[in-house]
Structure 1
Amino acid sequence: MARGKQIYEGKAKILYEGPEPGTLIQFFKDDATAFNAQKKAVLEGKGVLNNRISEFVMLGLERIGIPTHFIKRINMREQLIRHVEIVPLEVVVRNVAAGSICKRLGLKEGDPLPRSVVEFYYKDDKLGDPMISEDHITAWGWASPQEIDDMMAYALRVNDYLSGLFAAAHIRLIDFKLEFGRQYENDMVRLILADEISPDGCRLWDLDTGEVMDKDRFRKDLGDVVEGYREVARRLGVLRNDDEGTGDKSGPKLVRNNGEAPS
């Protein structure tokens, strides 16, 4: 599938014009960044795994009625997606104390929260993506009150789905980040899930050992970052154990499922 000119490059993905109006091609890079890009590396195969894991999750969310920008996976590193106007917010859902909430509230990492908590952050790397309130969002017009309600409702539904999905794979969902976009159709506009859902934006721990299986392996210099992502893919059924023979330097081999499927 031919892609058009590049229109955006972020820390982990590149967006190109798509083959049809209202579409884009999303390319997953191997680049890894942390601490607002102060720490950088290239991790061979990470983009391939994130592409496939995100496809698997997005298809599952579509099946339960959550609209997403995902249309189809094109190849090992690219997806065809709907063109949306990104809402400049990160929506974080937390189930277990980890990361910045521990420092803010004096919590012990690994302690379950009283209930799932939804937080909003303003997307601005120069400001360090600051945490904001609903009043900030409406005062500056980043989203309407109805859009805030919709994002929170979608976030909690996604949390329910992901918690069950990962628990079945013997993985504990600690927290995760979502982004949303506005899709315009004639005079109508609707809010849909955008970006990606992968170990780049989720904290995932082994259910028994607590072993980290996500981007914190990179943040905390734990090593074997891609292997952590690969294990997530294996457990979800995205990557077959028998595909991982020694001496194959072409990267992860992924299972075609024919449509089945934060700071």
Structure 2
Amino acid sequence: MRRRRIYEGKAKVLFEGPEPGTLVQYFKDDATAFNAQKKGVITGKGVLNNRISEYLMLKLEEVGVPTHFVRRLNMREQLIREVEIIPIEVVVRNVAAGSLAQRFKLEEGTRLPRSIVEYYLKNDELGDPLVTEEHITAFGWAATQDIDDMLQLALRVNDFLSGLFLGVGLKLVDFKVEFGRLWEDEQMRIVLADEISPDSCRIWDVQTNEKLDKDRFRRDLGNVEQAYQEVARRLGVLPEAGPMDLKGPKAMQ
């Protein structure tokens, strides 16, 4: 049975779900950087990100962070609740890296005085610009209460994941999360949506500061697949069949 495609993004495809109010989220191996100016394929990324995101979403649910995640369906797909995505990316930064380091001429790797939260408008055409709460409320992208809820949830995600990663020798440098409005019986609540994976986080080895995330792709550092596998391995979610499993169906000779 062909499922109806609802939306295709840079790294995932959303299909109509098996029951009302659900979607199937499919993880692709496609990789993009610099607002899709750089494109490539990271073999097995979709399988690894599906596993990593499942694991982290379930852990966050355990500590009371509401998410859109329902369950993993197979190697590359998970069942999620349909939410109204708020067009704001919430970025939490613990260590200077990426655009923040460039903007303020900070040495990459400098520990920030405290975690910094930034908001970016989800708009590829505009290059996902940095926005303030004033912009968000003035243009109606989210209400003040929505922003408060997103901020509190993002900080809880940061606290929990920082500790979780540290326990397996990883440093959570920064990450991007998205939120959606979930409607249940006329009640609306803000829940964590999208994914949490090395695509959306900067993750470094605590001892060596080796980058184990999409920066390896952005900066042509090589060993991209191995970095994603290492994060999955440390979290204990590397698929049992190992890396050979990740290559997808082979063409018959």
TM-score category of the 2 structures, normalised to the smaller one: over 0.9
**Structure 2 Cα separation of the partners of residues 181 and 140 of structure 1:** 17
Out of 219, 230, 251, the position equivalent to 2:246 is 251
Work out the CA distance in 1 between the residues paired with 2:124 and 2:39. Answer: 15
**Aligned twin of 1:192:** 191
Q: Does the CA contact (< 8 Å) of 1:3 and 1:25 recur in 2?
A: no
Query: Is residue 2:201 matched to residue 1:206?
Result: no
Q: How does 1:13-162 map to 2 (within 5 A)?
A: 13-162=12-161
Letter in 2 for 1:172: K
1:126, 1:188 → 2: CA distance? Answer: 33
Number of equivalences: 248
Deviations 1:29-81 (A, max 9, x none): 00000011011111110000000000000000000001000000000000000
Rounded to whole Å, the distance in 2 between the matches of 1:4 and 1:45 is 23
Give the equivalent residue in structure 1 for 2:251.
none
Structure 1 position 105, deviation (Å): 1.4
How far the C-alpha of 1:251 sits from its partner, in A, is 1.9
Shift of residue 186, structure 1, vs aligned partner: 2.8
Residue type of the partner of 1:96?
Answer: V
2:2 and 2:100 mapped to 1: Cα distance?
Answer: 40
Q: Is the 8 A contact 2:22 2:79 kept in 1?
A: yes
8 Å Cα contact 2:11-2:28 kept in structure 1: yes
| Structure 1 CA distance for aligned equivalents of residues 78 and 32 of structure 2 | 21
Preserved contact between residue 4 and residue 19 of structure 1 (Cα < 8 Å): no
Contact 1:22 1:82 in 2 (8 A): yes
Q: How large is the Cα RMSD of the aligned pairs?
A: 1.5
What secondary structure is seen at the aligned counterpart in 2 of 1:251? Answer: helix
Aligned counterparts of 1:51 and 1:3: Cα–Cα separation in 2: 21
Separation (CA, whole Å) in 2 of partners of 1:249 and 1:131: 40
TM-score under structure 2 length normalisation:
0.95
**Aligned structure 1 segments of 4 or more residues deviating by more than 3 angstroms:** none
The alignment-based identity, stated in percent, is 65
How far residue 8 of structure 1 moved from its aligned partner, in angstroms, is 0.3
Asked whether the equivalents of residues 51 and 238 of structure 2 are also in contact (C-alpha less than 8 Å), the reply is no
Extract unaligned runs of 5+ from structure 1: 253-263
Q: Distance in 2 between matches of 1:219 and 1:103?
A: 15
Q: Distance in 1 between matches of 2:56 and 2:225?
A: 19
Q: Counterparts of 2:118 and 2:51 in 1: how far apart (Å)?
A: 27
Q: How big is each residue's C-alpha offset from its partner over 1:6-45, in whole Å with a ceiling of 9 and x where there is no partner?
A: 0100000000000000000000000000011011111110
Secondary structure of 1:161 counterpart = helix
Give the deviation of 1:3 after TM superposition.
6.7
